[in-house]
Amino acid sequence: MVKKYVFFALLLLFLPVVTVHAESQQSKTLSLTECIDIALRNASSVKKAENARHLSGVDLLRSYGNFLPKLTSSASYMPSSVSRSYAVASGTTDAYKIRSETASVDLSLTASLNLFNGLSDYAALQAALDRKKAAGFTLQRARETIAYDVTQHYYQALLDRELLDIARENLKTARDLLTLTDRQFSIGLKSITDLYQQQAEASNGNLGVINAENQLRRSKLELVRRLRIDPATEIALEPVDTAAIAMLSPELDIVALSASGLQRRADLEAQRLERDAARQDVRQVAGTRLPRLDLGFSVSSGAIDSYKTAIPGQSIDYAYPPVGRQLENGIDHAISLNLSWTLFDGFTTRYNVETAKVASRNRQLDYEELKDGIEIDLKQVAGDYRAAFSRIESARESLKASESAAQGIMRKYDLGASSFVELSSARAALFNARSTLTQAFYNLALQKALLDYTSGVGITNGNASSSH
């Protein structure tokens, strides 16, 4: 009896844990917009771009600070300073030992303002401004990249889900036909060979379902990888709107698309700003060839806390005013203009200038390469986008013909006028036609997303079809 109570107590104790675990395994339904939002919050590339933008803001603040005076202060307290020396009394030739002990306080404040340094500070400020803006555009492009990547894998998962439905429908048809063939074999209308062939066809259909299920599972895991959520989360995907893809047009003005794409691409603008910043770096380094002029101002004060002198047979303790009064009355100040000019530094400045020029030329090459690449990518993507419409029309015609052929051969097969090989080929053609049409629709949706991404428009969340 006691063991029974213990068993029920343990059951009640672990029941909430099991319930919580079961709830955590529940499916979570997500839309494309929700997936993009989750990925943008969790993506490491976006966080790194945000960190880079933050750092560029701190660098800009430092560049502004170069135009402000530099302030340094110092304070020291010496509780005891002992010095020993020898002295000769007047009128004698004997030297005697002197010991002095001092306690002192010293304060100082120094300000320095650069008046001219070859405009290096101005060039550094302009470079920092350009890099700050470039970091913002880089962050924007990182977000667009994450959105496109998630959209691509979201559509892939939807496509694999529909291919799985087609595979299951094909398996159901094969099993129904197997049942019919088995009955026909029982009454002598079909041979044992036809029965075996239909059993093999049903087995192949079952294998197709297994493969489709595995592909769908992999597609969802790839999507979860990009969302960076708990891998144990089972996600379900909402179908996307079919109205947006139905309104798409294959007509594109590639000239206008290229012109607008070059203006909208955030990464191209970031590259341009980085190029301009590199040019300012050259001016900054070249400014060190010119003289530097600084305005200096210093304030200092000191006080003696105590001063004692000891000679053989005598000790003298000098009385000084309070430390505060000494510091107040002993303030010294100075104003100075400091001109410095490095006449020869072993060609260090020359090397730094040439290094900055090489970096500037490399930035220019990167900018031109990216610009040319964008124009080529836009032409290629626009061609693939137009071809996607032709694929859909071709897939529709193929599906229509495959359905008619399959129906005709099925009627002939039921009457014994067609072989199983012909029926199997017709059904395989029908299955492939359905899969091809589904893939053609999602290919158009992906091409539209890629066109938006390449042209810098951004990802539209309704560019897919969920039923055909």
What gap in Å lies between CA 320 and CA 101, rounded to an integer?
Answer: 14
Q: Residue 288 is encoded by which pair of tokens? A: 């060190």
Residue range of the domain that includes 418: 23-68+117-291+345-455
Residues 287 and 429 in one domain: yes
Q: What is the C-alpha separation between 456 and 143, in angstroms, rounded?
A: 11
Q: Clarify whether residues 28 and 154 are in a common domain.
A: yes
Per DSSP, the residues of 90-128 read TT---EEEEEEEEEEEEEEEEEEEEEESTTHHHHHHHHH
Looking at the structure, tell me whether residues 334 and 349 fall in a common domain.
no
Please give the Cα distance from 359 to 352 (Å, whole number). Answer: 11
Domain shared by 333 and 372, yes or no: no
Helix (H, G, I), strand (E, B) or coil at 77: strand
Burial class, 411, CB count within 10 angstroms (exposed 0-12 / middle 13-18 / buried 19+)? exposed
Closest by Cα among 293, 288, 290, 292 to 355: 288
Backbone φ/ψ region at 253: left (φ over 0), alpha (ψ -120 to 50), beta: beta
195 and 280 share one domain: yes
Residue 8 maps to a domain: no
pLDDT tens over the chain, length 468 residues: 444 444 444 445 444 444 444 444 557 889 999 999 999 999 999 999 999 999 999 999 999 999 999 999 999 999 989 898 888 777 677 787 888 889 999 999 999 999 999 999 999 999 999 999 999 999 999 999 999 999 999 999 999 998 898 888 888 888 888 888 888 888 887 788 888 888 998 899 899 999 999 999 999 999 999 999 988 888 899 987 767 776 788 888 888 889 989 999 999 999 999 999 999 999 999 999 999 999 999 999 999 988 888 887 788 888 888 988 888 888 999 999 999 999 999 999 999 999 999 999 999 999 999 999 999 999 999 999 999 999 989 988 988 988 888 888 888 877 777 776 777 778 778 888 888 888 888 889 899 999 999 999 876 444 433 333
Same domain, 275 and 366: yes
Say if strands 95-116 and 292-311 run parallel, antiparallel, or are unpaired: antiparallel
Of 96, 383, 429, 122, nearest to 252 by C-alpha is 383
Question: Does 6 map to a domain?
Answer: no
The pLDDT value recorded for residue 293 is 95
Q: Kindly state whether residues 279 and 297 are assigned to the same domain.
A: no
Residues in the chain: 468
Alpha-carbon dihedral sign for residues 113, 115, 118, 121: positive
Contacts of 378 (CB under 8 A, 6+ apart): 254, 257, 258, 261, 454, 455
Instruction: For strands 27-30 and 70-88, give the pairing.
Output: unpaired
- Structurally, how many domains does the chain consist of? 2
The CA-atom distances, in angstroms, between 226 and each of 146, 148, 449 are: 8, 11, 17
What is the reported pLDDT for 20?
Answer: 41
Structure-token pair, residue 163? 């291919």
Dihedral angle sign, alpha carbons of residues 61, 62, 64, 65: positive
CA distance 163 to 438: 8
- Is residue 420 located within the same domain as residue 441? yes
CA 143, 149, 150: angle at the middle one, nearest 5?
90
Rounded distance, CA 437 to CA 394, Å? Answer: 8
Tokens 């000098």 belong to residue:
318
Residue 463 lies in a domain: no
Q: Does residue 3 sit within a domain?
A: no
Six token digits for residue 50: 């945000």
Judge whether 460 lies within some domain.
no
**Residue 41 amino acid letter:** R
Phi and psi (nearest 5°) for 210? -60, -45
pTM of the entire predicted model: 0.80
In-domain check, residue 15: no
Amino acid at 223: L
Tell me, yes or no, whether 36 and 94 share the same domain.
Answer: no
- Bridge partners, 260 (sequence order): none
Please tell me whether residues 241 and 313 are part of one structural domain: no
pLDDT of residue 282: 97
CB 20 within 8 A of CB 226: no
Residue pointed to by tokens 């220019």: 364
Please list, in sequence order, all residues whose beta carbon lies within 8 angstroms of the beta carbon of residue 255, skipping any fewer than 6 positions away.
none
Q: Point out which residues pair with 86 in neighbouring strands.
A: 97
Asked if residue 86 lies in contact with residue 97, where contact means CB atoms within 8 angstroms, the answer is yes
Q: How far is residue 69 from each of residues 62, 113, 331, 435, 461, measured CA to CA in Å?
A: 13, 4, 21, 72, 53
- What is the helix (H) or strand (E) element at residue 436, kind and residue range? helix 420-455
Burial 50-72 (b: 16+ CB within 10 A, else e): eebbeebeeebeebeeeeeeeee
What would the two tokens of residue 90 be?
């007047």
Q: What is the pLDDT of residue 125?
A: 96
Q: What is the pLDDT of residue 311?
A: 81
Rounded CA gap, 58 and 115, in Å? 23
CA distance 52 to 142: 12
Say if 467 falls within a structural domain.
no
- State the pLDDT at residue 459: 61
What CATH number is attached to the domain comprising 380? 1.20.1600.10
Burial of 88 (0-12, 13-18, 19+ CB in 10 A): exposed
Beta bridge partners of 74: 108
Helix (H, G, I), strand (E, B) or coil at 328: helix
Asked if residue 166 is part of any domain, the answer here is yes
Q: What is the radius of gyration, based on Cα positions, of the chain?
A: 42
Show which of 302, 324, 340 is a domain's final residue: 340
Q: Are residues 322 and 229 in the same domain?
A: no
Q: Are residues 265 and 222 in the same domain?
A: yes
Question: Does an H or E element contain 46, and which?
Answer: helix 44-65
